[in-house]
A and B are shown apart, each in its own frame.
Chain A
């Protein structure tokens, strides 16, 4: 069946007229589909970057019975032995030994010093503790930690104090000052022990 051209055109226009309202519905439109007032909104993006580096921290513990004069909870402390003689009783918190192992023909005075060593963002089960002196002690005097060999001034080959030291709080070591029996000390003995904690 063949329809006349005019009739076909009329039918098409009628169909278009019916479809026109549909063309304006949300199904044809892009954008918000809410009616009335939409709440205004916006988005933002903040890019955050950081680099976490591993760290090891060393600080002196302020435990009871310790003879730290200052610097507790820091990594720079002062330890004072006061005035000592071989044959008198040791000051509180100190021990006098007449036969220490790190020096010969000497006596020593010792006191415990505790460290807090903590490690962050690295895999390490323990650490090696070494020490060296900033300056050579006076003749006849020597320093030792936990009966290690007498400390030297060599920073490149420091004396090993503990090769498997445990992380955590309150690890205690005896700091000893050895004095030769024949030594004559007319002035105050002063020196600095540099402790080095190296993660294993």
Chain B
């Protein structure tokens, strides 16, 4: 009997601790009564979601919820553009590639409300400069719109400034714009 004591003690300790850990992570095990255990109560005001959409006059965006792929095609100062909804605007130092994109911020909350949108680049793409709704983007999150309506489609303007001196080795532009939406 004495040789089984450590095993018995460990087993008792495990039986007592597992329900507490499971309660903390909201997993219910069998008949363990977790209602009496102290729990952290967190109330989420409706889950949010971000969807990238296309309109008839905007560039085509592929992808699923929370992730979109926008291919602007081949662009040049002299044009013409190869992608729908993409426009070239000449500037003294180069040219702008402009397009609109549609954003829908979803919420499970029945009330509409608004959300703030912050954006940043996953990687810098020198010598290009990228603007969302006129706000220059960098690797640091910046607020591009503090009051975007929730539950409706909203148009946003994406602009990429291409300098004249962009070299051939820099002709491939690829970056990811990350968005964080927080309900107001």
Contact = CB atoms under 8 A, between A and B. Distances in A.
Q: Do A and B come from one complex?
A: yes
Interface of A: 5, 8-9, 12-13, 16, 19-21, 23-26, 28-32, 34-57, 118-123
Given A24-B40, A41-B183, A57-B77, A47 B24 contact: no
Contacts of A43: 50, 66, 178-181
A66 B171 CA distance: 38
Given A5-B5, A57-B78, A118-B77, A34 B42 contact: yes
Given A48-B175, A121-B171, A32 B50 contact: no
Contacts of A52: 74-76, 162, 166, 170-173
Contacts of B138: none
Contact of B44 (A21, A24, A38): A38
13 contacts: A12-B13, A35-B41, A39-B184, A41-B182, A46-B61, A46-B101, A51-B75, A52-B76, A52-B170, A52-B172, A55-B77, A120-B76, A122-B168
Given A5-B2, A50-B173, A121-B165, 6 more contacts: A8-B9, A35-B40, A47-B67, A52-B171, A54-B171, A55-B77
A55 B76 contact: yes
A28 B21 contact: yes
A23 B166 contact: no
B40 A29 contact: yes
Contact of A23 (B24, B75, B170, B182): B24
Contacts, number: 203
A19 B165 CA distance: 66
B96 to A, nearest CB: 12
B20 A50 contact: no
Interface string B78-103: 11000000000000001101000100
A120 B52 contact: no
B72 A50 contact: yes
A36 B41 CA distance: 8
Contacts of B51: 44
A16 B183 contact: no
**A8, A16, A43: residue with the most chain B Cβ atoms closer than 10 Å:** A43
Interface string B36-60: 0111111111111111100000000
B68 A30 contact: no
Interface in B92-122: 94-95, 97, 101, 105, 107, 109, 122
Given A16-B17, A50-B97, A120-B77, A45 B174 contact: no
Contact of A39 (B13, B41, B69, B182): B182
The 10 A-B residue pairs whose C-beta atoms are closest, nearest first, are: A44-B50, A120-B77, A23-B20, A42-B48, A55-B78, A50-B72, A55-B76, A29-B24, A55-B77, A50-B173
